[in-house]
Amino acid sequence: MAAIVKWENGIKHWATGISVIQLFALIYAGTEFDQSATSFQWKEELQWIQLPLGSLGEFVIKYSLGIDGLSFLLIALTGFISFLAIINSHSIQEKKGAYFSLVLLLNAALMGCFLSRDLFLFYVFFEFMLLPMYFLIGIWGGPRKNYASIKFFLYTLIGSLFILIVMLGISLAYIDPYETAKHLGLIQEGQNFDLEALKNIQTAIANKEIANYDLVHSFDMQALSDVNNCQTTSILHPNSGWLLNGMSARMWGFWLLFIGFAIKLPMVPLHTWLPDAHVEAPTPISVLLAGVLLKIGAYGWLRTAIPFFPKEALESANIMAALGAISIIYGAYNALAMSDLKKLVAYSSVSHMGFVLLGIASFHAEGWQGAIYQLVSHGILSSLLFLVVGVLYERTHDRQIDHYSGIATLMPRFTLISGIAIFASLGLPGFSGFIGEFFSLLGAFTSPYIHPAWAVLGAFGILLGAGYFLWTFQKVYLGKTQVFNSDWKLPDLNRLEIFSLFSLGILSILFGILPQLILDWSKYFVSNFLTTLH
Partner 1 sequence: MSLLLLIPLLPLIGFAINGLAYPKLSKSIAGIVGTIPPLVAFVISLQLFLNFDGQTQIIQLADWIKVADLSIPFAFQIDALSIMMLLVITGVGTLIHLYSMGYMAHDAGFGKFFSFLNLFIFFMLILVLGANFTVLFIGWEGVGLCSYLLIGFWNQKNSYGDAARKAFIMNRIGDLGFLVGIFLLIQEFGTTDYQTIFSTIKDGTEVGNIGLIAFCLFIGAMGKSAQIPLFTWLPDAMAGPTPVSALIHAATMVTAGIYMVIRANALFELSPEVLHFVGWIGLATALLGAAIGLFQNDIKKVLAYSTVSQLGYMFMGLGASAYTASFFHVMTHAFFKALLFLGAGSVIHAMSDEQDIRKMGGLKSKMPITYLTFLLGTIAISGIPPFAGFFSKDEILAALYHHDFAMWCLAILGSALTSFYMFRVFILTFWGDFRGTEKQAHHLHESPWSMTIPLIILAVFSVGGGLINLPHFAGGNEFLAHWLAPILPEPHEVGEVSFFSLEMGAPLVAAFLPAIFAIYYFGIQKAVPGNDESVQGIQKVIYRKFYIDEIYDFVFVRPIQVLSTFFAQVIDFLVIDLIVEGVGKTVKTASDEIRKAQTGNVGYYIFMMVLSIALILVLTLRSRIL
Least Cβ distance, residue 474 to partner 1 (angstroms): 4
Q: Which of 98, 184, 235, 478 binds partner 1 (CB under 8 A)?
A: 478
Residues linked to residue 404 through DSSP beta bridges, in sequence order: 483
474 binds partner 1 (CB under 8 A): yes
Site map for partner 1, 240-279, x if CB under 8 A? -----------------------------x--x-------
Please tell me the count of residues contacting partner 1 according to CB under 8 A: 55
**DSSP assignment, residue 187?**
S
524 binds partner 1 (CB under 8 A): no
**Please, how many CA atoms are within 13 Å of residue 243, restricted to the half-sphere of its CB?**
4
What region does 273 belong to: left with phi over 0, alpha with psi -120 to 50, or beta?
A: alpha
Query: Whose Cβ is closer to partner 1: residue 212's or residue 272's?
Result: 272
- Close Cβ partners of 273 (under 8 Å, ≥ 6 residues apart): 148, 151, 152, 155, 156, 263, 266
Write out the binding residues for partner 1, residues 423-442 only, by CB under 8 A.
423, 428-430, 434-435, 438-439, 441-442
- Round to whole Å and give the CA distance between 261 and 444: 21
279 neighbors 148 (Cβ within 8 angstroms): yes
Residue type, 60: V
CA 281, chain centre distance (Å): 18
313 neighbors 305 (Cβ within 8 angstroms): yes
* Only segment of 78-86, 129-137, 445-453, 493-501 that touches partner 1 (CB under 8 A): 445-453
Proportion of the chain in helix, strand, coil states, percent, rounded to 5 = 70, 5, 20
529 binds partner 1 (CB under 8 A): no
Least Cβ distance, residue 458 to partner 1 (angstroms): 11
Site map for partner 1, 73-112, x if CB under 8 A? ----------------------------------------
Query: Whose Cβ is closer to partner 1: residue 121's or residue 328's?
Result: 328
DSSP assignments along 134-193, one per residue: HHHHHHH--TTHHHHHHHHHHHHHHHHHHHHHHHHHHHHHB--HHHHHHHTTSS-TT---
Query: Whose Cβ is closer to partner 1: residue 51's or residue 506's?
Result: 506
How many CB atoms neighbour CB 100 within 10 A? 22
Query: Whose Cβ is closer to partner 1: residue 92's or residue 328's?
Result: 328
369 binds partner 1 (CB under 8 A): yes
Site map for partner 1, 132-161, x if CB under 8 A? ------------------xx--xx------
117 binds partner 1 (CB under 8 A): no
**Please, how many CA atoms are within 13 Å of residue 406, restricted to the half-sphere of its CB?**
7
Provide the 3-class DSSP secondary structure of residue 383: helix
Q: What is the CA radius of gyration of the chain?
A: 24
Q: Which residues bind partner 1 (CB under 8 A)?
A: 150-151, 154-155, 269, 272, 330, 333-338, 364-366, 369-370, 406, 408-409, 423, 428-430, 434-435, 438-439, 441-442, 445-446, 452, 455-456, 459-460, 462-464, 466-467, 470-471, 474, 478-481, 515-516, 519, 526-527
